[in-house]
Amino acid sequence: MTYSPVQMWRRQKDISSLIGQQGHILFATNVRIPPSGFAEMAPYAVGIIQLDSGEKMIGQIVDTPYEALVVGQKVRAVPRRLPNTDPEGIIHYTIKFVAA
């Protein structure tokens, strides 16, 4: 999905409110054959995370090998830069999760 600069500006408050929130892993899987545009990242772990606020999110789990992830493990939301594919050179960030 591509966002215009205006959409990204409006969306930043949602992303910034997630930074630092903690939760735990409900489910995790290892993506070995990614969709187009994510080939350079494979393999990578993706999980369903339940935040302490009760909200559930799907997100990439980084900085921990998939084999070391366990259901119930505490994680924390962090901002990470996405690969630069924007023709205008805009730097995109997203929320990913790291072991807490």
Q: Which fold has domain 5-99?
A: OB fold (Dihydrolipoamide Acetyltransferase, E2P) (2.40.50)
Mean pLDDT of 19-45: 91
- Answer with the residue of higher pLDDT: 18 or 12: 18
Contact (CB, 8 A) for 23 and 52: yes
| Residues 34-79: tens digit of each pLDDT | 888 788 888 999 999 999 999 999 999 999 999 999 999 999 999 8
Predicted confidence band at 12 (pLDDT cuts at 50, 70, 90)?
low
- Angle at Cα 33 formed by Cα 27 and Cα 34, nearest 5°? 80
* CB half-sphere exposure, 91, CA atoms < 13 A: 3
Does the pLDDT of residue 27 top 70, yes or no? yes
Amino acid at 98: V
Domain borders along the chain are 5-99
pLDDT reported for residue 44: 94
